[in-house]
Amino acid sequence: MFNKSIIILAAGQGTRMKSTLPKVLHKISGKPMLYYSIKEALKLSDDVTVVLYHQFEKVKAEMEKYFSNINFVIQDHENYPGTGGAVMGIVPKYEKVLVLNGDMPLIQASELEKFDIDATIVMSVLQLQSADGYGRVIIENGNVKKIVEQKDATEEELKITTANAGIYQFCSKFLLENLPKLNNDNAQKEYYITDLVEMAINEGKVLKPLVVNEENFKGVNSKVELSDAEVIHQNRLKKEFLKAGVIMRLPDTIYIEEGVEIEGESIIENGVSILGNSKIINSHIKTNSVIESSIVKDSDVGPMARIRPDSKIVSTHIGNFVETKKAILNGVKAGHLSYLGDCEIDEGTNIGCGTITCNYDGVNKHKTIIGKNVFVGSDTQFVAPVTIEDDVLIGAGATVTSDIKKGELYITRAKAKTIDGYFYRHFESKKK
């Protein structure tokens, strides 16, 4: 099945990001950039090595949340800095080895498959209108003859619009034989992987260019480029959902993270955010609602509702300004302005406006359990842990501090009384 090893370079600090966070951990659609490089690499190889250096423990720990079948190598940056130094000491499992960058979150396995060309080196190139800022690639008779950095290019070479995209496939034998020959005799005192190209040319090896799509091979080196890449990735995600039959109102205003699933006859309105590992099935998510790592099935949510993590909403109406957290709701109506956290509520139950499950005692969280066909009056507080059995009526303004048995009416309001003319007496006394 697999025929190549893959090395992903992720050692850099990324100073242009102007952040203490390692560059490859900056997120696109909810996942670190490096996640996408690894994800696509694993579609093509079972021998994937990630090269780390800057804050390597942090990067390694983050990636291990998602992947268990990759190798990590710490670059000897002190002695062998640079892209060439990064691949030293790695012994590929296969005869071909593909070298990727960890800051290319838009890369796709289908594009990487195109590197399967019979050559000592296959290098990715971009055909640009302007190659300003890129190293130039000189191609003759379909073979790479030279690469030159912009600062070193002649006037004629600067006119070339074929640029180096920074992804290479090597014959493993050539790579291992020539890596020890690299030197750092340059202004940066670094070992460059591009020098291997020059060695191969000098040895008369076959070097083939592969013209690639600029969008897929877009590197991210700044917050501006991060934002641009996320827009592209978002459009890709939403396009797939649209093709699968999901209705999206003003899709440019909708934010959906990597890992979200949307199935069936679902409608997503403008301004909605769907985050984490949420799953939406045959449901209507209305304007400006947020769904976080929850399941919503056969339900409508919003507008302006928030479904927080670990909620499961089934055959339920969640209205405006309702917030849930770790809530299991089955066949429930919660029309507006309520907080339902750490609770289980069964079918036929109506949650009145302003209802709160008081789940936190300052130290621990507690659960509220509400059965079937319960009518909860407006402005009710459930002081958990409490269990409300089926067929219960709870009067508006109640504070529920104990369990309620099936069929009971629960009221905590004090008996009302009126005092005639009190308003006038009260304010007259203030004037004296």
Q: What is the CATH number of the domain that holds 249?
A: 2.160.10.10
Is 314 found in the same domain as 206? no
Q: Is 79:37 a contact under the CB 8 Å cutoff? A: no
Q: Is 42:120 a contact under the CB 8 Å cutoff? A: no
Is 129 found in the same domain as 81? yes
- For 159-179, how does the pLDDT look when each residue is reduced to its tens digit (9 = 90+)? 888 988 989 999 999 999 999
Is 297 found in the same domain as 401? yes
Is 135 found in the same domain as 43? yes
Does 431 fall in a domain?
no
Q: Is the pLDDT of residue 432 over 60?
A: no
pLDDT at position 427: 82
Does 423 fall in a domain?
no
Is 33 found in the same domain as 182? yes
Is 164 found in the same domain as 66? yes
Which CATH number does the domain housing residue 23 bear?
A: 3.90.550.10
Does 23 fall in a domain?
yes
Is 356 found in the same domain as 309? yes
- For 287-329, how does the pLDDT look when each residue is reduced to its tens digit (9 = 90+)? 999 999 999 999 999 999 999 999 999 999 999 999 999 999 9
- For 96-154, how does the pLDDT look when each residue is reduced to its tens digit (9 = 90+)? 999 999 999 999 999 999 999 999 999 999 998 888 878 888 898 888 888 887 877 88
Does 289 fall in a domain?
yes
Q: What are phi and psi of 396, to 5 degrees?
A: -55, 145
Distance (Å, whole) CA 115 – CA 166? 13
Distant-in-sequence, close-in-space partners of 429: CB < 8 Å, separation ≥ 6: none
User: Residue 150, exposed/middle/buried by CB under 10 A (0-12, 13-18, 19+)?
Assistant: middle
Confidence of residue 429 (pLDDT cuts 50, 70, 90): low
Is residue 336 part of the annotated active site? The answer reads yes
Does 218 fall in a domain?
no
Domain boundary (211, 243, 263) is at 211
Please identify which of the residues 26, 233, 317, 336 carries the catalytic annotation: 336
Is 233 found in the same domain as 110? no
Range of the domain at 14: 4-211
Domain boundary (165, 189, 211) is at 211
pLDDT at position 254: 98
Is 314 found in the same domain as 203? no
Confidence of residue 410 (pLDDT cuts 50, 70, 90): very high
Is 260 found in the same domain as 170? no
Q: How many domains does the chain have?
A: 2
Confidence of residue 422 (pLDDT cuts 50, 70, 90): confident
Is 168 found in the same domain as 239? no
Does 429 fall in a domain?
no
Mean pLDDT rounded to a whole number for the chain: 94
Whether pTM > 0.85 for this model: the answer is yes
Tokens 């050559």 sit at which residue? 119
- For 185-221, how does the pLDDT look when each residue is reduced to its tens digit (9 = 90+)? 887 889 989 899 989 999 999 999 999 998 999 889 9
Does 405 fall in a domain?
yes
pLDDT at position 352: 97
Is 207 found in the same domain as 227? no
Domain boundary (211, 231, 259) is at 211
Confidence of residue 430 (pLDDT cuts 50, 70, 90): low
Distance (Å, whole) CA 307 – CA 78? 48
